[in-house]
Structure 1
Amino acid sequence: MSSPARFQMPRSALIPVVVLALCILPTAAATWWTLLLLLVPVAVAVAVLRRGVDVTDDGVTARAVLGARTVPWTELAGIRVGERGDLWLVTTAATEVRLPVLRARDLPALAAASGGRIDVSAPPSRPGGDRAQ
């Protein structure tokens, strides 16, 4: 793998943030202290832009709003699919690291980005099994 793969929220997620900022603007302009309300859309925009997952030759890095945690390939024991389809890295130390912005449907892309280090040959099963309705 030559360049890192980056999984992040789509930039279109910023559209509701802009709408929120426009809705807050009349109230924020009322007095000087209500300008602090504009920090809400700024914080949400930072969260949208910052959160993500990077897959490199060194390992998998989960980026959160205020920090990041890298799990080297040598410490990766597997991946757990949560009840809601969220993905968790399971380490050899029996700790788990949530992969933000990735869901069970993203497993094939994550496996491809890992360069064969993550095997998803068997599809993940959902709790309670698949029910046709």
Structure 2
Amino acid sequence: MSVPQVPSRLVFRVPSTAVLGALLFAITATPFAWAAPGLLVIYVVPVVAIAWIIRVRTTADREKLVTRTLFSRHVLPWSDVRAFRVSERSWVRAVVEDGKELPLPTVRTRHLPALSLISGGRLDDPTEAPAEQPREEDAE
């Protein structure tokens, strides 16, 4: 059986090509923005979208999880993470020592096996089927 190679870190983020969508919005909004005074404020939407695309991410390495949102950054050592919780829309949250939940931006259910692997076995993969226990009557 081969041993899986574990990367030194994982970065979960929105693909950088999404910036093209925000730029396309800015281009198509130009006739509207110049139609009347004050409508130039519409350009705030693509600027905020680009900032969000560039800034928001979750980084995991062997020691910690780092989450970045548009205005904040949280560092969470693996020793503080008790479990992962999956929401109805497949977003993942880290459950910490005191029961609080920290959202992991851009992390989805499909990423849980990778997070389990990079945590060094500290957290089980919740998507993995539990190993069957031998039944007592089979042991005889």
TM bracket (short chain) = 0.7 to 0.9
Q: How does 1:46-125 map to 2 (within 5 A)?
A: 46-120=51-125, 122-123=127-128
Matched positions, count: 124
Deviation at 1:51, TM superposition (A): 0.8
Secondary structure of the residue that 1:54 maps to in structure 2? strand
Gaps of 5+ in 1: 125-133
For structure 2, the 5+ residue unaligned runs are 1-5, 130-140
**Amino acid in the other structure paired with 1:103:** R
Cα drift, residue 121 of structure 1: 6.0
Deviation sequence 1:32-55 (CA, Å, 0-9, x none):
633222111000111111111011
Q: Does 1:36 align with 2:36?
A: no
The equivalent residue for 1:19 is: 24
- Determine which structure has more spread, i.e. the larger CA radius of gyration: 2
Q: Who is 1:8 aligned against?
A: 13
Give the deviation of 1:11 after TM superposition: 1.4
Structure 2 counterpart of 1:92, one-letter code: E
Determine if contact 2:112/2:127 at 8 Å carries over to the other structure.
no
For 2:70, the aligned partner's letter is: V
- Taking the aligned partners of 2:36 and 2:17, their CA distance within structure 1 comes to 31
Cα distance in 1 for residues equivalent to 2:97 and 2:78: 10
Residue 117 of structure 1 and its aligned partner are, at CA, apart by: 2.9
Once residues 110 and 18 of structure 1 are traced to their aligned partners in structure 2, the CA distance between those partners, rounded to angstroms, is 33
- Tell me the TM-score normalized by structure 1: 0.80
What is the root-mean-square deviation in Å for CA atoms of aligned residues?
Answer: 2.2
Q: Secondary structure at the match of 2:125?
A: coil
Amino acid at match of 1:93: D
- What is the deviation of 1:27? 2.3
CA shift for structure 1 position 16: 1.7
Report the 3-state secondary structure (helix = DSSP H, G, I; strand = E; otherwise coil) of the residue aligned with 1:120.
coil
Cα offset, 1:108, TM superposition:
1.7
